[in-house]
Structure 1
Amino acid sequence: MSPPAGGSRTGRNLPAAIASALGLAVVILGSLYLYKPAFLVVVIAAVGVGIHELVKGLATRDIHVPLIPVLVGMAAMVSGAYYFGPGVFLGIFAITVMGVLGWRLFQGSDGFVRDATATVFMAVYPALFAGFVGLLLAPPDGANRALIFVAVTASSDIGGYAAGVLFGRHKMSIISPKKTWEGFAGSAIACVAVGGWLVAWLLKGQIWQGALLGAVVVVCATVGDLIESVIKRDLGIKDMGSVLPGHGGMMDRIDSLLFTLVPCWLLLAAFIR
């Protein structure tokens, strides 16, 4: 079967996807290097849209998550981590969990355990994970660290897509049938190469440190993508939304970023003093 007009044999509208990606790249670079805290606003907005998509998706299965307290908690965690450090970040997370459980309490006991479990899950994924952006960005060279995190994770998607289209033959997982081992190999090569280059160039680290970062990222990015695929299958939906032409919903774009963020922060904190 021929691909759709303007698309590819993977079903993705490639011109729209490229245009969306370039637009996001401009926003990310501009916010990082013109006024660093503006990147926090970009992250809060993107993750906020993702949370809204998840809340709507869960509602299709009669699972009700209070949107407002999760959004407020996520924004507070991202900002608190950046301005006040890990201790305040952890405290805000605990208060967020207390707040969302208390919010749900006043809606009655029917389905409380179901809704509360999903709500706490969302307070962790994606809200808690997103807070690590603040820790990553806080050092004087935080803009470069954040750029490395985004670029290496994006290279996993780009390398995997290119290798999968050109060479993909062996299916990797029944969870996401479009993924192939050849695509994973392309992701790994791209992540290791980009990681080694950027860590050495932007942070004056060792090439092997960047290569190791890339190797960890490719595994975490793949797991993050597969986990979101499982969530969508469980909810019976194809995409989380349609806010990004050619990509689907915001969660369809940030799923890998969320899963690579914590290891990126941890490894760069260990490698670069």
Structure 2
Amino acid sequence: MLVRILTGLVGIPLFLGLLYLGQWPLLALVAGMGLVAFYEYTRLGQAMGFRPSLAVGSLAVFAILLAAGLLPPTAPHLGAAVALSALAILTWTLARPVEYTPVDALITLAGVFYVGMLSHLLLLRRLGDGTGFDAGFAWVALAFFCTWGADTMAYFVGVPLGRHKLAPKISPQKSVEGLLGGVAGAAVVGMLWGPVAGIARWQGLLLGAAIALMATLGDLTESALKRAAGVKDAGHLLPGHGGILDRFDSSLFVLPFVYYVATLIFGLS
């Protein structure tokens, strides 16, 4: 636990600092995270008996993240990057029929889409000026603060009070009581931070509760992958936390959700 706390004390200020700077520093961070996360994904796939392509998949993830960070977010560039990545992966499989099967191609493609959800961190950050304390920073912070609030309260409520298992076959330690505590914690954080992001407190409360649910789905998804692979952690990059997928599994579901809420419901652009 001490190592986990120390990693957070170092990592969170560094992450928030790069988030504040935005632009190239943040793009470099997210691109690095994406490449490490896809490497961890391929290790999980290999442990399950598949052969996802690390080389082609990594290039596809990198292309998607570059498109999200550099090209106009209102243009169809991101969709083009995703489509071209899918075609490249399928073509690679056809060109290497001995090494890779169609199932390996689909597993690779699924990993690209899964890890590529990190692109929404960049898209969300670019809603404002792209640097400094602007709307983009406020909304990314809302996503992460609510996620962290949910994780923290789920732990402190679930450990002493957890009686009813939430998903015993996937994550035996998670409880319904912990989930409710996490929803309450994220709702309070959302209510407090909502005005900073330009929304009403009641809207922030509802959004925070929804973020907690999305975070739980993201967490359970990665837990299911690890259980199928027979491993405890996806990686070992972050002491006390595991790998990038272990730390940001919730965010892979939360960030797209918050981005589309911000753009489609609240009209940010």
The match for 1:104 among 81, 93, 96 is: 93
The RMSD of aligned alpha carbons is: 1.7
Long gaps (5+) in structure 2: 129-134
Match of residue 132 from structure 2: none
Q: Find the residue that maps to 1:65 and give its secondary structure.
A: coil
TM superposition shift of 1:111: 5.1
In structure 1, C-alpha distance between the alignment counterparts of 2:24 and 2:139, rounded to whole Å? 14
Q: Quick one: structure 1 residues 21 and 110, their matched pair in 2 at CA, closer, same or farther if it must change by over 3 Å? A: same
Report the AA paired with residue 210 of structure 1: G
Which range moves more in the overlay, 85-94 or 106-115? 106-115
Match of residue 234 from structure 1: 228
In structure 2, C-alpha distance between the alignment counterparts of 1:41 and 1:272, rounded to whole Å? 28
CA contact under 8 A between 1:73 and 1:96: conserved in structure 2?
Answer: yes
The match for 1:65 among 45, 52, 55 is: 52
Report the AA paired with residue 258 of structure 1: L
The aligned runs of 1:1-273 (5 Å cut-off) are 14-83=1-70, 84-86=72-74, 87-109=76-98, 112-127=101-116, 129-140=117-128, 141-174=135-168, 175-200=170-195, 202-269=196-263, 270-271=265-266, 273=268
Q: Find the residue that maps to 2:165 and give its secondary structure.
A: coil
TM superposition shift of 1:76: 2.2
In structure 1, C-alpha distance between the alignment counterparts of 2:226 and 2:167, rounded to whole Å? 15
TM superposition shift of 1:35: 4.2
In structure 2, C-alpha distance between the alignment counterparts of 1:210 and 1:40, rounded to whole Å? 27
When normalised by structure 1's length, the TM-score is: 0.89
When normalised by structure 2's length, the TM-score is: 0.90
TM superposition shift of 1:81: 2.1
CA contact under 8 A between 1:69 and 1:100: conserved in structure 2?
Answer: yes
Which range moves more in the overlay, 109-118 or 141-150? 109-118
In structure 2, C-alpha distance between the alignment counterparts of 1:36 and 1:252, rounded to whole Å? 25
Deviations 1:223-265 (A, max 9, x none): 1111111111111112112221111222111110001111111
Q: Find the residue that maps to 2:92 and give its secondary structure.
A: helix
In structure 2, C-alpha distance between the alignment counterparts of 1:47 and 1:236, rounded to whole Å? 23
Long gaps (5+) in structure 1: 1-13
In structure 2, C-alpha distance between the alignment counterparts of 1:42 and 1:147, rounded to whole Å? 16
Q: Quick one: structure 1 residues 110 and 51, their matched pair in 2 at CA, closer, same or farther if it must change by over 3 Å? A: closer
CA contact under 8 A between 1:31 and 1:37: conserved in structure 2?
Answer: no
In structure 2, C-alpha distance between the alignment counterparts of 1:58 and 1:94, rounded to whole Å? 22
